[in-house]
Every structure is written in C-alpha cells, then in structure tokens.
Homo-oligomer: A and B are copies of this chain.
Amino acid sequence: MINNYELYNPTRLIFGENRIEELNQYLPEKARILFVYGQGSIKRNGIYNKVLNLLKGREFIEFSGIEPNPVYETLMKAVNLGRENHIDFILAVGGGSVIDGAKFISAAIPFVDDDPWKLVSDHLEIIDSIPLGTILTLPATGSEMNRGAVISNKVTGDKLALISEKLFPVFSILDISVLKSLPKRQIANGIVDAFVHVTEQYITYPIEAKLQDRFAESILLTLIEEGSKLYDNIEDIEAGSNVMFCATMALNGVISSGVPTDWSIHMIGHELTALYNVDHARSLAIILPALYSFKINEKLQKLVQFAERVWKITKGSDIEKASTAIKSTENFFKSLGIPTKLSEYDIDLDYTIKSIIEKFESRGIEYFGENGIISIKDIEDILHRAN
C-alpha cells in the first residue's frame, strides 16, 4: 500500500556554532519587530542580552512571559501589543512553547474580525499571518521547522492544535552554543520528546514507505547514541549538535510523508500534564511502554522491525523481540533520569483513569490511535500497566 502525500517545508534552518550573531542577515531590513520570549531563562543564560545587542538600532518591542504549554489568555496580550504597535515581524526566542505561542500570535494579529481563539477551536483557515523568525534555545518539539502549534485555553480547559502552512517560521536559528546553558532535566526531556515524536509516526501498521521507515530508525538510533553521550556530558557539543538536528527532523514532515501516524501516546500524555502538570516528555515516557505492550499484537510487525533495526535484537520469537524492544526503550528513558511509572508520581490512579476517559468522552472520542485501534475503555488497562 502506498499513500499519496505532499512534502513542503519552506523554513530556512540556520544551524551551527555562533549562528545567533548572524541574526540581522535574516531579519527583514525595515521591520517593526515583536520580540517574544518565555519566563526569563534567556535572561539568565545571556541569550537575551545577545539578542538585544543585535537588535540595536532597530524598531522593536518586547513581550515576555509565554509559559510552558502556552495559554491563549497570555498570548492575546501579545496580540494586542503587536496590533497597537503595527508590528510586521515576530522574533521568537525560546523553546517549543515560545515558538508555538508566537505562531498563534502571528495568525491572530491579522485576524481582526472575530475572536482569534476560533482559529484554534473552530479550525478556521488562516488566510494571513505575520512572518515569524525563531532562535531555538531547546531542542525538543520540532516547532522551529513545522507548521503546527499547541495552544491551551484556561477558561475552556482545552489544549488544541493549530495547523497551517502560514505558520512555518521564515527562518530558525539553531545555535548549538545555547546547549551548554541548559539544565540536564530539560535535555533529557528534549531527547524523550523527539524520540516519541518519531515512534508515533513509525510504530504503526506497516506500509510501503521504506525510506521513511529507515529515516525514522536513523533518528531513533542517533538519539539513543548521541542523547546518551549528551546526557552524560552536557559539554559534549558534538553530541548536542546531533541531538538538535534529530529533534528538528523528528517532526518536520519528512518521516511522516505518506505514513500512518498514531499520536495516542501524546493524547493520553497531554491529559497527565493537564491533570498533574507532569512534564510533557515525562508523560510520554510513562505511557509509551504501557501502550505498546498493551497493543503488542496490533503493532507487532513494526515493533519487531524496531527491535531488530534499532535495538539490534536478533533472538527470540516476534513477541519476545517486541517485548524486549519496549523494555529497552523504557530502560533508555530511565538512563536519562526519567521515571517511567505513574506510581513514581503522587497521583490517584482510579481518579486519573476516570478523569481521562471522561475528558475523551466529552470531546466525542470513542476510538483513537492509527486506524482507531484503541478504545477509550482501553485507557484503564493502559494506565494500570503504566502504574
């Protein structure tokens, strides 16, 4: 079976050492810039001052305070600030949350006829957007080179995706020099986030997309080898640069070209984050082993391929290979200091199961995962295994 697809990604990636210094080459010559960032880590690590220096002599205004899992209410303040100042370019400096937030701002500023939240909730087509450039400070989500964003709404309790070709950044600077300022916990989270992005697009039912499979395996192998090196020594700039490119390639459209995608781990994981503020990557590390062992028969062919090609498991029956691969993945997460069991968090299992099923029901979801192979009732079994 072959699926038709489009592969399109016009973002210019500017990768390497000290690339931030070249910022002005990529910014439009005359622009009124909205410079957005998060909750101040760029002030502590010196990137903020570097950017301010580079912006000297330019017209710009700042907006800070975009939170992890960026929130509509906060972002609307930036939208109003941008409109008042007639800005025509957005520069986002931060990780995936800041870039996701900037994408919403970019679409919301020109959308003056109605509440911009409708772009998210009602999937309105984005006709116009303010061009966006980014400086990535944390390799993880891939938002720097894709057309998606995830935005939360405090009032409705929703956490929803915004997807449009108008949201591709014009450029993204991946300056590997930023890596050494990152806390180890964030590096570990980034590696797991990228890893699970890949498995969601790879451990599905099989299809005739042989190169996409091998590309996915390439990213997983490199994350395992180089991610481990980086976690052991965050000064290892070469390992860091490899991890950084992996995180971008994990979610920029190449490996998903014409393949089925799952995203069920993310769907359940998002709810753990919503309920208990578990770090996004950590929620994925809990759900992945449980969900794959629960759906081992449905995903067997790809799990065996994953076992053989990524974990080099050659012995045993197919089920044994698949189980060992799931275990190896879990051990890899643990080796990065990431807990993989719900019981390691202070939560009420029964309440969690009930809440997540209710949440899915309220959204009208009965079945999910590739080909709808997971029923919302399965969440109980999956979370018991994850405990």
**Closest beta carbon of chain B to A318's beta carbon, Å:** 21
| Interface pair B7/A10, CB less than 8 Å apart | no
Cβ of A225 and Cβ of B210 under 8 Å apart? yes
Q: How far is the CB of A311 from chain B (nearest CB, A)?
A: 15
Kindly report how many copies of this chain are found in the complex they form together. 2
Given contacts A2-B16, A215-B218, contact A209 B242 (CB under 8 A): yes
Q: A8–B211 Cα gap in the complex (Å)?
A: 21
Are the CB atoms of B217 and A211 closer together than 8 Å? Answer: no
Give chain A interface residues in 239-278, CB to chain B under 8 Å. Answer: 241-242, 245-246, 249, 254, 257-258
A-side interface residues, number (CB < 8 Å)? 43
Q: Of B7, B12, B17, B215, which contacts A4 at CB under 8 A?
A: B17
Inter-chain contact A218/B208, CB cutoff 8 Å: no
How distant is the Cα of A219 from the Cα of B15 in the complex, in angstroms? 23
List 30 A-B pairs, Cβ < 8 Å: A1-B238, A2-B16, A2-B238, A4-B19, A5-B16, A6-B14, A7-B13, A7-B15, A8-B12, A8-B13, A15-B257, A208-B238, A208-B241, A210-B222, A210-B225, A210-B242, A211-B222, A211-B242, A211-B249, A212-B245, A214-B217, A214-B219, A214-B221, A214-B222, A215-B215, A215-B218, A217-B218, A218-B218, A245-B257, A249-B254
6 smallest A-B Cβ distances: which pairs?
Answer: A4-B16, A214-B218, A10-B10, A208-B238, A7-B13, A8-B12
